[in-house]
A and B are shown apart, each in its own frame.
Chain A
């Protein structure tokens, strides 16, 4: 049973870089059966997809964040990471990592069926 756990600083200053990690247990982050993603939710608002990463390390980013965003895998630690640069108050949100099935033969993905509990990040001086 896959389990995900996010971690990172709860407070980041404006213009700095937000860095989060997601530890995966119960399976390998480099498995061809899964893909991974980050989703955020500003307080009292809805869900926003940040980006996804595949076993090969290839990524797919939300265009609204492209240029500020890096998602990567650390296979030695079985973790995925998120780095978001030049943050503003608009980046204040609960950040979740999530995983879903990846169908290697077709390249298709399924919805996110496993989620971490999320980590709250506030951007403030």
Chain B
């Protein structure tokens, strides 16, 4: 099983700042099949990025994904108030599918 470790656990930033979230895999993620989701309280997760770097439909271009093999990053270039949420990475290239434990992005 591929274990995904996200860091930091909590990130405190202000609107307008740049956010960098990390996801490290215990083994190589097959074909860079790594996704990022955003989850707000009381809502289902929303897909932001798939294939490590492809933005999902309707996702603003301030969200970008990068990385490969075992080290992946989600960057939010300039934080908007609606971006404060919990972010999860997920690998779906190997079974079992696994999620990271999440990074909480909070307003400073």
Main secondary structure on A side of the interface with B: strand
Task: Please give the distance in Å from B61's CB to the nearest CB on chain A.
Answer: 18
Quick one: given A96-B44, A111-B92, are A48 and B99 in contact (CB under 8 Å)? yes
The interface bits of chain A over 90-125 (1 if a CB of B lies within 8 angstroms of the residue's CB, else 0) are: 000000101010000000111111011110000000
One of A63, A64, A116 near B44 (C-beta < 8 A):
A116
A46-B88, A96-B44, A118-B44 are contacts. A113–B97 as well, Cβ < 8 Å? no
Query: B50 touching A46 by the CB < 8 A rule?
Result: no
Interface string of B20-64 (1 = CB under 8 A from A): 000000000001010101000001111100110000110000000
A62 beta carbon closer than 8 Å to chain B: yes
Per the CB 8 Å criterion, the residue count for chain B at the interface is 25
Select B45's contact among A47, A52, A61, beta carbons within 8 Å: A47
Q: Which B residue sits closest to A115, measured CB to CB?
A: B44
Q: Is B101's beta carbon under 8 Å from chain A? A: yes
Residues of A in contact with B, size category: 20 to 34
A interface list, Cβ under 8 A from B? 37, 39, 46-49, 52, 60-64, 96, 98, 100, 108-113, 115-118
Subset of 6 A-B contacts with CB under 8 Å: A63-B1, A63-B96, A98-B44, A108-B33, A111-B37, A111-B90
